[in-house]
Chain A
Amino acid sequence: MKFFSQSFLYDDNWPIVSLAYFLRYPNPYASHVLSCDVISREQTPTGTLLTTRLILKRGNLPRWFPKQFVSRAESWLVEESEVDPYGKIVKCRTRNLDNVKVMRVEELVEFRQTEESKTLQHTEVRITSGFGWGLTKRIETYGITKFKQNIQRSREGVHLILGLIRQSRLQPMAIGHGPFPGLPHHTPTSDCSKEAHKESQAASLSASTTGAWSRVRNWFYPQRS
């Protein structure tokens, strides 16, 4: 088993960093995320929000890895999170569901508000391979090295989303649709009303292609538009 941990301090306060973290897919630094679904979401009696998401990511196998053992370089992940808005804590744990014998990756991320109203992110990862054949250590080392490379990219993704949220709060009505559906801040909820549902269901795809966020995305991924 290989272990790695790292802490990082955001200058922004906890609510905005936590929001950015949950809105982070898609972003240009996470093009390997193919899908992301909420499997369950509930609030506990104390007000904590528990969410389970199912995520499909595209990975790449190292050249030296015997290809016959892994059918495809895609991986299902389950992400379980706990948001406590009163204690200002987010806890999030992600694990892969397939190829766990080859490599089991378990990531724990925490966001806490500091006394200076900044946000401290603490990340821990455990990588375990049960592969054998003299490759166990090599696989674990590869996993940790990849993780260290990716942690920087994922942080850049969160920073990008943070910037977009800040921007949408500064000019809430100017663009009509903010970078994220449902945001900007405290606008009327016509998007969510039952009456608007059918209409917006049909329009949601076309509306999202003209939103600021989609413009950013299309700029990064012109082939996807």
Chain B
Amino acid sequence: MASSLSPECTPLKTQYDACFNSWFEGYLEPAVAASSTKNRQEYSKRKAEEEYKACVQKAVKDSGLESTLQQARDEHPLKSPPPPDPSSLEQGKKH
């Protein structure tokens, strides 16, 4: 998987990605995934996630990106997308 922004977080990210990927593959097919293995994975994913998250949060803080990132995230883009250009949208629907 791609590296973390901070080299010291990369091993934790590798670990977290491994846990997340196996969970995510089942998550994408809810009808197929067996719930018992899903729960176990959920637990271990959380453990790996906590450690990785703590590392990245510190790295983001150190990089000075925190406020820019927070500002961007506060816009809640997926809930209120900018009004698209109607003519181009029609074009999109036609492929």
Contacts and interface: CB of A to CB of B under 8 A. Distances in A.
Contacts of B28: 14-15, 18-19, 83, 85
B47 to A, nearest CB: 6
Nearest to B40: A189
A186 B52 contact: no
B11 A201 contact: yes
B24 to A, nearest CB: 7
Contact of B92 (A5, A37, A95, A197): A5
Interface in B34-74: 34, 37, 40-41, 44-45, 47-49, 52-53, 56, 59-60, 65, 68-69, 72-73
Contacts of B3: 34-36
Interface residues of A, number: 62
A192 B82 CA distance: 40
A91 interface: yes
Contact of A189 (B24, B41, B68): B41
B49 A78 contact: no
Contacts of B88: 3, 5, 124
Contacts, number: 160
Given A182-B20, A192-B18, A194-B47, A19 B25 contact: yes
Contacts of B4: 35-37
Nearest to B89: A5
Cβ-closest 6 pairs across A and B = A182-B21, A181-B18, A182-B22, A192-B44, A192-B19, A15-B28
Interface of A: 3, 5-7, 14-15, 18-19, 22-23, 25-26, 33-39, 41, 47, 49-50, 52, 54, 56, 76, 78, 80, 82-83, 85-86, 91, 93, 95, 97-98, 106, 108, 122, 124, 126, 180-183, 185-187, 189, 191-194, 197, 200-202, 204-205, 208
Given A35-B3, A93-B81, 12 more contacts: A5-B91, A19-B25, A35-B5, A39-B69, A76-B68, A78-B72, A78-B73, A124-B92, A181-B18, A183-B25, A191-B18, A192-B44
Interface of B: 1-5, 9, 11-30, 33-34, 37, 40-41, 44-45, 47-49, 52-53, 56, 59-60, 65, 68-69, 72-73, 77-78, 81-82, 84-85, 88-89, 91-92, 95
